[in-house]
Structure 1
């Protein structure tokens, strides 16, 4: 039996409830269609549903579509999988996890208490109010004027020895289960080191995570529309910008993530058709509806200390682990950005004379709108970064396993910045990591760092259970609080780590947390550093990590071998680990990219 809980009433998360319905893909991986089988099915079903892969004729991706359709497409895939599977699927929409019961020895989760909500008979329908106005109610046991609650206790079937025989997979956007279980995790910026040499801070900063975004949809109209300025617009107006001169083009911004198009317009310089009345655009813009708090006064995802201070780690105290006020301001910021697009004349980064009004548009709302909400914003914000586990200590990782910047980045570390910023010892250790087969000679001082040929590949993991490929892409937090402070700037140095990455793997060690033996992690909360997480966060990676976690759980149930036992040293001699990898490959979930072995030192063709 599989029990699937979802905080909203749509499956799919990023491409549905979060409204980010533009598939982020890299050219080489896309040209070879080298993805997990399920992700390929998603692409195929989108194409069959619309009779084309890119109904939006967008230019950020080869596939942009409506979030409400993404939910239906994914739900059909889920139902098909349930029929094909050997067990029972129980889906619990509009459900939040409230409490965990941990075994006396602290090694297993024995039960999960969740709260499912629905609208009361006299209240407006679900998705009438934005998240900031409802989330605290969702996590409360008591019924309210808006919501009727059902308390769910999820427990496993007991084995003959009365031990738990189940696995929990944390696929939440911010790592709620790992916070509730209080396993070791990181949040925000990691301190600069030879493993993360581009880090923007010499010390950890848990408050600066990547910006989050409430997406929305807007439609071009034939006639100019009356645009009503929100009362809070002046507060956020100093933030909005096209960002770069080459992007200072309204047609380009509209078509960047256009999710529906008649394709009747002429071709424009962005390689797509010009917008025409009836075309719909989804907005997800860095200096627009991104909200980017980054201090202890306004951070969105609460740290462990903040959770304790607010009582959320006390029994029954969990309320989602987010700052409701920052959610509210993110909603206002998004609504203000729409008004700026259609009526604004300022630009915080490019100055006067750049932005012109474009009133021939309307903001789409309603339960039948692309976002499926009466307020028009996505049901849940697009979260780029949450809590990230620290894996268990293993050979080479005495403090716990983590995927770091140097494991995936294409950056040229011969740049003088690294020699000047890192200590001589840290600099030598950096080049020992980058030296590949020459590492022992670098460590022993037989070869100097400037004599090393930097490897041209990512780290290869013998316990890989999945793949991903994307650029290290940052939406940095802002320096001052609140984020919309006039003249505010991005946190200094945060974009230094941004850039191209090699195709990378998902090690099994990255999805196994410390302490809890029957907990696995999928999605953005796997064991990565802040910089590596900027690449390990897009659609196909999330699919691959989910397939890896689910297959691992099933494999462990069938064999009686816990996931952590599969990665006990030495990895290459773990026959059961290899059996798991073979099972993943057999199911159509690749664990390595073609032509990217340790014998192929140059992966430059993968872009």
Structure 2
């Protein structure tokens, strides 16, 4: 197969890249190894992690269209109450982690709708389920990529003038010989206050295999997982208690706190204010990442709320899953941990009434679209990251470093984002790292490899460090990065130039920034005082 733009990986960045390039008139091939497009929003089942101003500014127009599309889908097809239907900023799950907690299948439907015109016209070809297995290069250029059907359906070689790596772990980087980094860089290299003295390439953030549950009458206890005895007594040195416990470190203070768990509280969804500045919202884990609040729907439509389990106790940090020979074993054990957490919840978890276990908890694999009841894909927070023309470091956005000056303003800004530097426990035995950050920009230099000419990152594999990845890895930033990568490929094809030249030529850079701004990409934060 041949196309103008090849996008490998159908997560949020990959979809945004394919959509941008196809809208610009380019022929696009998009590949994805899981059954659903959308990555962390869908196959990984993680509700969107977003900044507090998302309803007003700070995301691209197409990402806003995705969010609006999700709300419109609920209004069109779901039996909402009249109050909830009239709720402008409808939060279907009334979860505290996000202003838009929702069932992953709805996001799949909306993403498919956004791509449908280009698939119908033949401009966009989507290959599922395919994963990259080989690549051919000629000097500093990628000539082609070979993808293989996940279930044994053969291989396809795809060539394109521009190749975008939107995989969750930067799979094309080793296949193409592109220079990259993993894990912690050293303080000597980056100057970051939170970096270690010596680089730790195998020290990476925990992965999580999420799952959805509701709570209904009856006993829905699953079979005892094979590794349950190991996990029920597992106590990391830095954790302060057993992993399977309501007690765990507060990410911001590392103080050991006890969270509650009360299924189906009779709360009013319209009173939930999902603003992390005011309340982190994780006091009651049931409502923290709730994705369907039964009170948003007419009586009887939902027998129970549905909540998404992405809690501290499912973080798997026994070993990395990138560039190690036993990655498959660790991925399997991460799934085993999640099953063990569910079994603990059903059988041994302390209840407010003094009893133990919630046998009414029911695994909702129909919500996540998987055979084993868990999310189709693991939630991988940290990717291989390109050695970029510019690497974003902690002191670019740290509130402690920058203070009232705000984050660094890049002359080559191609987007904006905002999230605390939020790092989960890691495979090297580190606890949470949580650093306040300023609203930041995305520099074009972070999207340009130091050597390769036609390979662009389109997800979490941009030029950040282990530290700053904690801010740049979230849903709206990943979408922004992918969208800009797709627009950059089109711009370079139209101008007969290269990504490196666009960044380093003031005239081309200004033209490109005007191009993406016209497409709805915000490249600067608005000047607002006292908000």
TM-score range (shorter-chain normalised) is 0.7 to 0.9
Match among 370, 374, 377 for residue 377 of structure 1 = 374
Q: Secondary structure at the match of 1:102?
A: strand
Match among 277, 284, 289 for residue 310 of structure 2 = 284
Match among 413, 425, 438 for residue 464 of structure 1 = 413
Q: Secondary structure at the match of 1:263?
A: helix
Q: Quick one: structure 1 residues 89 and 41, their matched pair in 2 at CA, closer, same or farther if it must change by over 3 Å?
A: same
Does residue 240 of structure 2 align to residue 231 of structure 1?
Answer: no
Other-structure match for 2:156: 152
Does residue 54 of structure 2 align to residue 30 of structure 1?
Answer: yes
Other-structure match for 1:96: 131
What are the equivalent positions in structure 2 for 1:334-373 lying under 5 Å apart? 334-345=338-349, 356-365=356-365, 369-373=366-370
Equivalent residues of 1:196, 1:531 under 8 A apart: no
Q: Quick one: structure 1 residues 15 and 354, their matched pair in 2 at CA, closer, same or farther if it must change by over 3 Å?
A: farther
Cα displacement (A) at 1:513? 0.9
- Alignment length, in residue pairs? 453
1:380-421 deviations in Å (ceiling 9; x for gaps): 1111001111113xxxxxxxx21000001112x5xxxxxxxx
User: Distance between the aligned counterparts of 1:77 and 1:334, measured in 2?
Assistant: 33
User: Distance between the aligned counterparts of 1:341 and 1:196, measured in 2?
Assistant: 43
Other-structure match for 2:146: 113
The structure in which a higher percent of residues are strand is 2
Equivalent residues of 1:248, 1:354 under 8 A apart: no
1:36-76 deviations in Å (ceiling 9; x for gaps): 01111111111111125322121111111111222111111
Give me the CA root mean square deviation. 2.6
Task: Return 5+ residue gaps in structure 1 as ranges.
Answer: 117-137, 139-146, 157-165, 266-275, 311-321, 393-400, 414-433, 435-453, 480-489, 597-602
Match among 484, 490, 504 for residue 548 of structure 1 = 484
Q: Quick one: structure 1 residues 193 and 241, their matched pair in 2 at CA, closer, same or farther if it must change by over 3 Å?
A: farther
1:515-550 deviations in Å (ceiling 9; x for gaps): 210011121100001110000011110111111100
User: Distance between the aligned counterparts of 1:531 and 1:556, measured in 2?
Assistant: 31
Q: TM-score, normalised by structure 2?
A: 0.80
Match among 201, 213, 220 for residue 206 of structure 1 = 201
Equivalent residues of 1:115, 1:152 under 8 A apart: yes
Larger RCO (CA under 8 A, 6+ residues apart): 2
Q: Secondary structure at the match of 2:424?
A: coil
User: Distance between the aligned counterparts of 2:503 and 2:66, measured in 1?
Assistant: 31
User: Distance between the aligned counterparts of 2:127 and 2:354, measured in 1?
Assistant: 48
Other-structure match for 2:441: 505
Other-structure match for 1:9: 35
Task: Return 5+ residue gaps in structure 2 as ranges.
Answer: 1-26, 76-84, 235-242, 249-255, 264-283
Q: TM-score, normalised by structure 1?
A: 0.70
Q: Secondary structure at the match of 2:399?
A: coil
Equivalent residues of 1:189, 1:199 under 8 A apart: no
1:430-475 deviations in Å (ceiling 9; x for gaps): xxxx6xxxxxxxxxxxxxxxxxxx5531111111111111111111
Cα displacement (A) at 1:193? 4.3
Equivalent residues of 1:7, 1:94 under 8 A apart: yes
1:343-371 deviations in Å (ceiling 9; x for gaps): 22479xxxx99994222211123xxx011
Q: Secondary structure at the match of 2:486?
A: helix
Looking at CA atoms only, which structure, 1 or 2, has the larger radius of gyration?
A: 1
User: Distance between the aligned counterparts of 1:355 and 1:522, measured in 2?
Assistant: 48
Equivalent residues of 2:221, 2:347 under 8 A apart: no
Does residue 517 of structure 2 align to residue 585 of structure 1?
Answer: yes
1:450-506 deviations in Å (ceiling 9; x for gaps): xxxx55311111111111111111112155xxxxxxxxxx416x52xx222111111
Q: Quick one: structure 1 residues 16 and 356, their matched pair in 2 at CA, closer, same or farther if it must change by over 3 Å?
A: same
1:143-171 deviations in Å (ceiling 9; x for gaps): xxxx3422111124xxxxxxxxx101111
Other-structure match for 2:105: 68
User: Distance between the aligned counterparts of 1:194 and 1:150, measured in 2?
Assistant: 43
Q: Quick one: structure 1 residues 177 and 248, their matched pair in 2 at CA, closer, same or farther if it must change by over 3 Å?
A: same
